[in-house]
Amino acid sequence: MPDLYSPEDEATLYVLGELSDSERREFEARLRQSPELRSLVRELEEGAVALSMASTRRRPPAEVWMRIEQEVAGRTRRKVFIPASWTGWWRNGWAAAAVCLAGLLYVLLAHRPGSSDAFSSQVAPAISSQSRTSPAPIPQDGARNMAPPGNAESNAALQLLQSRLQENTALRWQIAELTNQMTHLSQAFTQQQGLLSESSRLKFFQLGSPSGSNGTTAPVSPALQRALVLAMARELGWAPTSSEAGGKEGTREWPTNAASSSATNHASVDFVDLRQSSNSLPAFTGQPQTELAQTGEQEPSPVASASTNVVPGFVSGTNAVLAFDSSVVPTGSSLSFLTATSSGQFQSLGATVLGRNPLVVTIPLGSPTWAGGNITVIAGTPNGSTNVLGQFPVPGTISP
Amino acid sequence: MESAEDQTTQFEKPGDSLAPDAREDARLLAMVAEGDQRALAAFYHRRSRLIYSLLVRMLVNEMEAQEALQDTFMQIWRRAREYDSERAAPVGWIVMIARGLGLDRLRARSRRTAGHAAYEREVASLEVEVNGARQTERDELAAACASALNNMPEPQGRALQLAFLRGWTHEEIACAIGEPLGTVKARIRRGLQALRKTLRDYHA
């Protein structure tokens, strides 16, 4: 070390790590002998700590501690499970056999009936309360509970093993819980499928106009909602049907072309049942949309109000129920219900006219003649234009 | 290796600017020396932000700083038995370990040329790091130390930071700025002493 360095300079160079190895050894020898020099070094080191503290404070990502934890665990594990005295054994293959045997014993013991639950009940609170990414301060008396320094490594290894066993148990719990949830979901799904296939269950749908392809539909009007609720009540037997109502309900001449269909009014909702006329339907041949269009004006005006609204309905058993009001088609519009037979011909299921009240039409689906085909609903407005309100498939075995 | 209690009593020295935190640091370090992983976790919880902040400041690279932080705590885990409370406060000991590992990485990057241009570049990088700091936390002690550093005469603050954070020798700094070696040595030493006083005043 050059003679021009004062003890202060030497101490500074020592703290900053600028001394060579031999200079450092020589300085440290003097350091041990001189309290003043130690005090000076300590003072400068504290200045270096203050300089470190002047750096903008940052929190390291949690992954860093996880890596340290893993590395510490790895070192401890290597030290404990592969001690130097085992290396000869290892070469001969006996160690491998012993480790396999130990593993087998552990698996057998850990999976004994009852052992898992007992162990889990002890370790679960520890797992849930221990944060791996933000280590908690240890208790003040922790030092007194530690093993002697000679057993420190094996003690740490035992702690590590215990923590791994705890993790294993927690993971087994999670797997079991997820399996249970999956089973419940599967059962619920099966139940829902079963409910849908029940013929007595109501299945709701909406008929959209093929011309309304812009994807926007108006909400079902309150009057239609009320009509649907009444229709459901009738289907479920909660409200009297036309045959049961007797004199309580108003029955009037209804402008339908199905002579034997019934038409009633219940709570200001008109009900038309096409079921009674379904077996004596006149044959309807040709293309319904074209022919109906030709019956009106040469250049029919579009039905703007009907193009964006949908016709709500539901299927109950072998019947389809549809509800109409002036939000769907103008009052006074004629409604025709057609079906295609398996031979490709069209048949009329019936027709009716929308009055001032909301209208509920019940359509039979049970005829094998048109099973598997589609039912088409066509509206003819008072101004002569026609519009296809929608189609819905008839359940059956014949492919459309 | 001394026991935890033996070590902690040694920090009850009058005028020791690190005494308030040193007792708990020393207790944890003694437990780490005995292989207590929970003590290492607690020690990391207390000191990782300081060390990480220092390493980011030195390396100007967060990924490298994270690796160096990991290396630092692995060294602490392995070398805790070597810690001598007579020679350094625990935090001083780990700051020096971290700084040494940071300097190793700086040296591994490239061979440094200690000319005036390099000096200007290093000074500029120190400024950029300060202004571009992200993910920061409020810390009164850190603010006091930063204020003390910023209030130093510019040549003194630069020399101190280049020496401590970038590993420049006194000679390299003197050569780069064209000033006498003695002047640079005095600046650095007095700068460290002034910062130490800030620390002591804060805890007083």
Residues 6+ apart with CB under 8 A from A223: A325, A327, A358
pLDDT digits (tens, 9 = 90+) for B79-127: 999 998 878 889 999 999 999 999 999 988 866 666 777 887 787 777 6
In Å, how far are A140, B2, B25, B42, B84 from B28, measured between CA atoms?
10, 13, 5, 7, 14
Radius of gyration from C-alpha coordinates of chain B: 18
| Distance between start and end Cα atoms, chain A | 102
A97 falls in which pLDDT band (50, 70, 90)? low
What average pLDDT score do residues A8-32 get? 89
A285 falls in which pLDDT band (50, 70, 90)? very low
What average pLDDT score do residues A185-192 get? 77
CB A52 within 8 Å of CB B95: yes
Averaging pLDDT over each range in A270-284, A364-378, B153-167, which range is the top one?
Answer: B153-167
Q: Are both B9 and B73 inside the same structural domain?
A: yes
List, as ranges, residues 57-86 from A with C-beta within 8 Å of B.
57-61, 63-65, 67-69, 71-73, 75-76
Q: How many CB pairs under 8 A join A and B?
A: 217
d(CA B158, CA B180): 15
Binary contact (A60, B57; C-beta < 8 A): no
Looking at per-residue pLDDT, the higher value among A215 and B194 belongs to: B194
Q: Are both B71 and B153 inside the same structural domain?
A: no
For A68, nearest residue in chain B (alpha carbons):
B70
Looking at per-residue pLDDT, the higher value among B45 and A132 belongs to: B45
CB A46 within 8 Å of CB B199: yes
Nearest by CB to B45, from A54, A57, A137: name it.
A137
Nearest by CB to B37, from A8, A44, A72: name it.
A72
List, as ranges, residues 118-137 from A with C-beta within 8 Å of B.
134-137
Binary contact (A138, B191; C-beta < 8 A): no
Residue after which a domain boundary falls, among B111, B135, B152:
B111
Distance from CA of B204 to the nearest CA of A (A): 15
Q: Are both B98 and B6 inside the same structural domain?
A: yes
Q: Are both B103 and B14 inside the same structural domain?
A: yes
pTM assigned to the model = 0.46
For A40, nearest residue in chain B (alpha carbons):
B193
Question: Which pLDDT score is estimated for A363?
Answer: 87
User: In percent, how much of chain A has pLDDT > 70?
Assistant: 56
Distance from CA of A229 to the nearest CA of B (A): 60
Question: Which pLDDT score is estimated for A396?
Answer: 52
- Residue A61 burial by Cβ neighbours in a 10 Å radius (0-12, 13-18, 19+): middle
Domain range for residue B186? Answer: 113-204
ipTM: 0.86
What average pLDDT score do residues A32-61 get? 90
Q: Are both B126 and B83 inside the same structural domain?
A: no
Question: Which pLDDT score is estimated for B64?
Answer: 94
Helix (H, G, I), strand (E, B) or coil at A103: helix
Distance from CA of A220 to the nearest CA of B (A): 54
Q: Are both B160 and B70 inside the same structural domain?
A: no
- Residue with the two structure tokens 């030195």: B58
What average pLDDT score do residues A296-316 get? 57
Q: Are both B158 and B193 inside the same structural domain?
A: yes
Query: Number of folded domains in chain B?
Result: 2
For B101, nearest residue in chain A (alpha carbons):
A17
Question: Which pLDDT score is estimated for A350?
Answer: 86
Contacts 24+ apart (CB under 8 A), A119-123: A119/A165, A119/A169, A120/A169, A120/A173, A123/A162, A123/A165, A123/A166, A123/A169, A123/A170
A106 falls in which pLDDT band (50, 70, 90)? low
For A206, the token pair is: 């909406």
Mean pLDDT of chain A: 68
Locate the domains of chain A by residue range.
Answer: 7-53, 62-134+146-177, 203-393
- Residue with the two structure tokens 């470190």: A52
Residues 6+ apart with CB under 8 A from A59: B48, B49, B52, B135, B137
- Residue with the two structure tokens 């009014």: A265
DSSP-assigned letters across all residues of chain B? ---HHHHHHTT--TT-TTHHHHHHHHHHHHHHHTT-HHHHHHHHHHHHHHHHHHHHHHHS-HHHHHHHHHHHHHHHHHHGGG--TTT--HHHHHHHHHHHHHHHHHHHH-----SHHHHHHHHHHHHHHHHT--SB---HHHHHHHHHHHTS-HHHHHHHHHHHHS---HHHHHHHHT--HHHHHHHHHHHHHHHHHHHHHHH-
Nearest by CB to A156, from B35, B165, B185: name it.
B35
Question: Which pLDDT score is estimated for A222?
Answer: 86
A117 falls in which pLDDT band (50, 70, 90)? very low
User: In percent, how much of chain A has pLDDT > 90?
Assistant: 10
In Å, how far are A104, A107, A179, B141 from A169, measured between CA atoms?
17, 12, 15, 44
- Residue with the two structure tokens 């013929």: A199
Q: Are both B117 and B94 inside the same structural domain?
A: no
CB B118 within 8 Å of CB B88: no
Q: Are both B104 and B118 inside the same structural domain?
A: no
Question: Which pLDDT score is estimated for B105?
Answer: 93
Looking at per-residue pLDDT, the higher value among B146 and A244 belongs to: B146
Averaging pLDDT over each range in A56-70, A236-250, A326-340, which range is the top one?
Answer: A56-70
d(CA A361, CA A170): 60
Cα three-residue angle A336-A340-A343, rounded to 5 degrees: 150
Q: Are both B42 and B12 inside the same structural domain?
A: yes
> Residue A324 pLDDT more than 70?
yes
Q: Are both B106 and B126 inside the same structural domain?
A: no
Mean pLDDT of chain B: 83
Query: Among the listed ranges A169-173, A197-201, B27-31, which one has the minimum average pLDDT value?
Result: A197-201
Helix (H, G, I), strand (E, B) or coil at A7: helix
Centre a 10 Å sphere on the Cβ of residue B135 and count the other Cβ atoms it contains: 13
What average pLDDT score do residues B5-20 get? 48
Q: How far out from the chain centre does Cα B201 lie?
A: 19
Interface probe for A, chosen from B46, B134, B145 (most Cβ of A below 10 Å), is B145
CB A367 within 8 Å of CB A272: no
Question: Which pLDDT score is estimated for A129?
Answer: 36
Residues 6+ apart with CB under 8 A from A101: none
Q: Are both B157 and B89 inside the same structural domain?
A: no
A172 falls in which pLDDT band (50, 70, 90)? confident
> Residue B27 pLDDT more than 60?
yes
What average pLDDT score do residues A220-246 get? 77
Residue after which a domain boundary falls, among B111, B144, B160:
B111
pLDDT digits (tens, 9 = 90+) for A340-398: 765 666 778 888 889 889 999 998 887 666 666 778 888 888 888 888 888 877 765 33
Question: Which pLDDT score is estimated for A57?
Answer: 83
Binary contact (A46, B17; C-beta < 8 A): yes
